[in-house]
Each structure stands twice: as C-alpha cells, then as structure tokens.
Amino acid sequence: MIWVIAGTLDGRRLAVTVREHTKTPVLVSVVSRYGAELAAHEGIEVHTGRLDEEAMKALIREKNITLLVDASHPYAAIVTATARSAAAAEGIPFVRFERAEVPLPAYDKLHHVSNEDEAAALAGKLGDIIYLTTGSKTMHIFAKADALKNKTVWTRVLPTAEVLTMMEELGVSPKHIIAMQGPFSYDMNRIMFSDTKAEVVVMKNSGLVGGSDTKLKAAMDLGLHIIVIDRPQPAKGATTITSADEFIDLWEDRVNGLCKKS
C-alpha cells in the first residue's frame, strides 16, 4: 500500500493518480472530517486525524506501507519533517510533493518575511486594517500579536465548526471573520479587499492551486501593501516532485528512483 499525506487539492489529485497509475492500494491521510469527504475515491482508504511520529510509524506497520508520499501543504514543515523521519525509521522510501510557487512580480509595496511572527509585526507598522489570507492554523500568532492589538484584522478561514470554535476561543470577533472555502477568483479577492478597506494583505506563496496569483493581482491593483510569508526551505536530500507526471516518471524508474534515493 502507498500512503499519500494529502491535505490539499493537488495532494488529493495526486493520490488519485497514484492509485490509477500504480494499481496499488492507496491510503490517504487528512486531518479533518471535511478533508476526508473531499478525499473519498474508489480504491482509496482514508485515515482521519492528526498523527505524531509514533502514530505514523505504527500506521506504516499496520497498513504495510511500502512508499510514503508527502503532499501536505507547502508550509506544513513540521508534518513533512515528521513524515520523513517516520519513513526513515521504518525503512521505506519517502517522496515529497512540492507544488510550484507563483513568481512574485516587481512591486514596491511587496514585503518578504520568514514567518507569521514577522508578518504580524510588519503588518502593524504598515497599516491599521489588515486582511489575513493565511488560514487558521497559525491564527493564534496573529490573535496574540502586540503589534495588532489596536488594529482591525480581517481573517479568512474555512467555514467548519472546528475552525470557528478555535477562532472564538482565540477571542476573534465574528464581525471580522470571513468563513469561506477558497481558492478565490481575482474579482472575489478584489471585492473582499476593497469592501473591508484593507490596507495590508498577508499571504503565503501557496502556488496557483492556493490562489496566490489572484490575491497578488487584486491587492496590487488596489495599491495595497502585500506581506508574503516565504516558504520553509525544502529538506535537503529528499526526493522531490512537483507534479503527478513527475511521480509517474519516478514510479516507472521505481527501483532507482524510489528505493535508492530514500
């Protein structure tokens, strides 16, 4: 069985490609019940819930996993490191799927930061109305940031009960929560940024699948400051692919491409 960690749309698509091309049973792991609904597909078994390294190793043994493909979010560095360590401990190949970034244009109001803490501090200096497109997983950083205490902070998150409960526990006002599933078109982004009177947009370079291109264009056309949280550096030495076609090529050469590079 091949295990695909698939917390994203392209990860789920990759899992289907893996199943259809290899004719091998596929296990897909997701965090939420909603993710499980999206991942459902003939010939694919879905595991729901967060996994630490020990749980990952146990799952590898239980399901007789022969290959682990990490297609988690580009910014899920902890998940990637944990999965790679678990695969190494169990002696199976590990492949990292890394979607391509969107090329960033020349724009005098575009700012780079390394993490959410830096993003919050800079956003507080650049404007009074901040629009976050960074999701819920790191919302605790922005909610507790001193630099944003007296700012209006709009937050766009998934409309699930789990996420909204977390937002309530963080003290985020429902008035400033936009609960919708993306990615969003240029027109939708522009309307949202404009109607909220945003001065600063905070985003990740999640690639085309994550809608980074439409966020950038809409914010630029409105003349807004854009803070881009740069991606974590890819793990050195890991076998990395950027498309389903690359997986197929790797699978065709699986003896050299997978076993010897893991």
pLDDT digits (tens, 9 = 90+) for 10-34: 888 899 999 988 888 999 998 877 7
Of the ranges 53-57, 79-83, 92-96, 98-102, which one carries the lowest mean pLDDT score? Answer: 98-102
- Cα–Cα distance between 255 and 18 in angstroms, integer? 16
Residue in this structure with the two tokens 């994550």, named with its chain if needed: 210
- Architecture of the domain made up of 2-100+233-259: 3-Layer(aba) Sandwich (3.40)
| pLDDT at residue 243 is higher than 90 | no
Q: If you average pLDDT over every residue of the chain, what do you get?
A: 89
The model's pLDDT over 205-225, given as tens digits with 9 standing for 90+, comes to 877 767 889 999 999 999 999
pLDDT given for residue 13 in this prediction:
87
Superfamily of domain 110-229: Nitrogenase molybdenum iron protein domain (3.40.50.1980)
Smallest CA-to-CA distance from 231 within 36, 83, 96 is with 96
The CA distance from 21 to 87, in Å, is 22
Q: How confident is the model at residue 255 (pLDDT cuts 50, 70, 90)?
A: very low
Residues 6+ apart with CB under 8 A from 171: 143
Q: The pTM is what? A: 0.79
The string of pLDDT tens digits covering residues 178-194 is 999 888 999 999 999 99
* Structure-model confidence comparison of residues 76 and 87, the more confident one: 87
147/164 Cα distance (integer angstroms):
23
Q: What is the mean pLDDT of residues 195-203?
A: 97
The CATH 3.40.50.720 domain(s) of the chain lie at 2-100+233-259
pLDDT of residue 31: 80
Q: Quick one: average pLDDT of 53-58?
A: 96
What is the rounded end-to-end Cα distance, in angstroms, of the chain?
A: 17
As a whole number of angstroms, the distance between CA 50 and CA 35 comes to 12
Where do you find CATH 3.40.50.1980 in the chain? Answer: 110-229
- Would the pLDDT of 66 be above 70? yes
b/e code 176-187 from CB counts within 10 Å (16+ = b): bbbeeebbbeee
- Contact at 8 Å (CB) between 196 and 58? no
- Tell me how far apart the alpha carbons of residues 4 and 7 are, in angstroms, rounded to a whole number: 9
